[in-house]
Homo-oligomer: A and B are copies of this chain.
Amino acid sequence: MARPFVPTRMEEPITANHREARPSGAVDTRVEGVVANWFPRFLANGLDYLDVTRILDAIENWDQWGTTWEAAGENYEKLGRDALAAGHSETAGSHLRRAALTYQFAQFVMTGDTEARRRIHLRMADTYRTAAPLLQPPATPVRVPWRGIDLVGYLRTLSDDSPLVVLIPGLESTKEQFSTFEPFLLERGLSTLSFEGPGQGETWYEHGFRDEAYVDAMRALFAWIVDRPDLSGRRVALLGTSFGGYLALKSAPGLPVEAVVDIAGFFDLKDFDNLQPVIRDNFAHFMKIEPAEIEDVVSQVDLLGTLPLDVPVLAVHGEVDPIVPVEHAHRIAAAQMNATVWLYPDGTHSCNNLHTIVRPAISDWLADRLAVGA
């Protein structure tokens, strides 16, 4: 009766740990700089610490950044597609979303290789598109006509009258990355629309960032919202992270919004030349522009004359933010006057290192402003 058992030996999930093999002292400064800036961002945005550690341990120099992250994403994509084939839709949605977010960081700040970046970014967008209908509630792609192109986003709605929060990404961020912020809002009765304007995500291929273009694109988005019978009656707020915090404040005048949240945004870019080189690179990519033209575009980025808004504003900033100094929050607060300002003494950029505390608090503030259930 007895027979030998045949256990299923699961494959190695990702590249083996190479930390031991890394030559001592052979530190790649680009890798170290990117990790120093954004390590908490990887974790706050849906990746698992143990995965991130395995990935970073396998990267010895910047040339391996994209391929190593992509291999880790591929593992989850395969698990997700297998789960889909097996009818395990919950697992499929979860793994495909995780695959997409892993690809997100594969192409992240890859400003030196446009072709590789495009390929991985489109793979990310495609993988997330497969996950989107499997999420709870589903994420529905939206396309907003503007100047002959389509602006893109994902809409996740609750009941017909639930308020709507429009999420605006910053540099090197995407509508897909917001899939880790959306649940905090959804759990509190708020529907979400994660948006990509000029310079961002899939919209970037069609149009680089310009200040007036972004503001105009936001007007087009709101005209589209008002035209949608299922959206037009809702109360709406804006939430922007990092440069998206600036964009939310800059775009708000004239839009039918009832509250604005700025997380770690700039007041202006007058100090552009003193930003980290990697951040200046990211801006050049964002703008799709030659270095000589940057100065003019940068000079348009300014909240002077925009603030104060006549709606409630929440500004959240980490006091040890190495990317956007906290003084920008001080200036926003001074110009807005009645703003609610939360400064976290040990918060880094976007307070991603305190995400367990900051995201629920922001979501509650929005739910209170938009009177969920009232």
Residues of A within 8 A of B (CB): 1-13, 16, 40, 43, 48-51, 79, 83, 86, 88, 90-91, 94-95, 98, 136, 187-188, 315, 329-330, 333-334, 336-337, 339-347, 353-357, 360-361, 363-364, 367
Contacts and interface: CB of A to CB of B under 8 A. Distances in A.
Q: Which 3 A-B pairs have the closest CB atoms?
A: A7-B341, A49-B49, A5-B333
A339 to B, nearest CB: 6
A364 B86 contact: yes
A371 to B, nearest CB: 12
A104 to B, nearest CB: 16
A10 B40 CA distance: 19
State how many copies of this chain the complex holds: 2
Contacts of A6: 341
B40 A3 contact: no
14 contacts: A2-B334, A4-B334, A7-B330, A7-B341, A7-B343, A8-B340, A8-B343, A43-B48, A48-B355, A48-B356, A49-B49, A50-B354, A79-B357, A91-B364
Given A90-B187, A337-B5, A354 B40 contact: no
A363 B333 CA distance: 48
A13 B318 CA distance: 13
A266 to B, nearest CB: 17
A343 B9 contact: yes
Contacts of A340: 8
B342 A10 contact: yes
Nearest to A7: B341
